[in-house]
Amino acid sequence: MKTKAILAGLLVAASAQAYAAYPEQPIKIVVGYAAGGTTDLLARALGEQLSTELNVPVVIENKAGAAGSIAAADVEKSKPDGYTVFVTTVSSHGMNPALYSTLNYDPIGGFEPISMLASIPLVLITDPKLELKTVDDLVAKIKANPGAYNYSSSGNGSPPHIAAAIFADMADLKLEHVPYRGGALANTAVIAGDVQFSFATLPAALPQVKGGKLTALAVTTKERSPELPDVPAVSENASFPGYEINTWNALLAPKGTPPEIIAKLNAAVVKVMNAEKLQQRFRQEGAIPQSSTPEELWTFVKGEIKRWDTVVRKLDIRIN
């Protein structure tokens, strides 16, 4: 019995020592979108600061496709050793479970929560040549020209697609959806006049809005964005009471990642996310920096899955 106790104690000590040494090699952050998009930009900013904090290289790997589903499935299958983590979004861990009849990953059972990272508003954008100034202007134009207006999005089932579908449903508008492979192409379509409007992530659209290439009519958050204080929230319009949609980023690890490693990653993320340097960087991109405990994040994610299931069912959107 004494021998078994000694061996057990040695194993515990060895395990603790191994976790204490973590990390000893580069950490890979997997992003489910192409380089240059909002999620990618924020992940790279985070990775830069985590590398300094943890004293190891942090590399970004882009695995775009199916609104983050491809990346999520890849990370779920990864070794749960703390060296592969995933930047999840409202798509992969909010909307996709309702949108897809089958998922190739388990959004809850396949992952361990680490921390929330950011809240990201969407902004309703139009081509300046249309000379629209308000949401009412856009609605009036669409109703006066049924079937003539269409909107772009970063893909079927993406947050911009859902945002526009909710918008059309609330105002009883007939619109054509034109999906693109990414937000940059969707925004370019508005600038080129190929479509009349879109809902874009604020970080991606902000430079074009400030440069006069896009007109911002409204933001989708409950309150106005500090980056565009003169642009109203959609919900300020009487035709869209309670309208609110917010995208977000959070950090997850594969299921089975040891709690000691999760705790180390959480502590590092919380520290860098609350540092002024990263706070400023996120805000410059139009994102609202956040952090959380793993437990807080998981409660939030489960609530998002339930919320978007209700919304998607009402809109009757399905992706095969």
In this structure, whether the domain defined by 25-120+246-315 belongs to CATH 3.40.50.920 is answered with no
Q: What is the DSSP string of 5-73?
A: HHHHHHHHHHHHHHHHH---S-EEEEESS-TTSHHHHHHHHHHHHHHHHHTS-EEEEE---GGGHHHHH
Answer for the pair 237, 137: CB distance below 8 angstroms, yes or no.
no
pLDDT in tens, 73-89: 999 999 999 999 999 99
pLDDT at 11: 46
Residue 204, helix vs strand vs coil: helix
Nearest to 199 by CA among 236, 242, 233, 227: 233
Nearest to 125 by CA among 223, 176, 201: 201
- Whether the pLDDT of residue 208 is over 50: the answer is yes
Task: Please tell me which residue, 47 or 20, carries the higher pLDDT value.
Answer: 47
Q: In the numeric block, which tokens belong to residue 203?
A: 């970080």
Residue-averaged pLDDT of the chain:
92
User: How confident is residue 284, by pLDDT bands cut at 50, 70 and 90?
Assistant: confident
Give the global pTM.
Answer: 0.87
3-class DSSP assignment, residue 233: strand
| 3-state SS, residue 252 | strand
Backbone angles phi, psi at 162, to 5 degrees: -65, -40
How far is Cα 238 from Cα 148, in angstroms, rounded to an integer? 24
* % helix, strand, coil for the chain, step of 5: 45, 20, 35
Same fold, 25-120+246-315 and 121-236: yes
Contact 290, 273 (CB under 8 A): yes
Q: How far is CA 130 from the centre of its chain?
A: 30
Give buried/exposed letters for 254-292 (b at 16+ CB in 10 A, else e). beebbeebbebbbebbbebbeeeebeebbeebbbbbbbb
Classify burial at 320, counting beta carbons within 10 Å of its beta carbon; exposed 0-12, middle 13-18, buried 19 or more: exposed
Q: Is the pLDDT of residue 182 over 70?
A: yes
Residue 311 has a pLDDT of 94
Tokens of 86: 């995933």
Q: Is the pLDDT of residue 13 over 50?
A: no
> What is d(CA 72, CA 60) in angstroms, rounded to the nearest whole number?
14
Question: In the CATH scheme, what architecture does the domain 121-236 have?
Answer: 3-Layer(aba) Sandwich (3.40)
Domain ranges, ordered by start, for the chain = 25-120+246-315, 121-236
Q: pLDDT, tens digit, for every residue of 228-276?
A: 999 999 999 999 999 999 899 999 999 999 999 999 999 999 999 999 9
Q: What is the DSSP letter of 210?
A: H
Taking the CB of residue 143, how many other CB atoms lie within 10 A of it? 13
* Joined tokens for residue 210: 């400030």
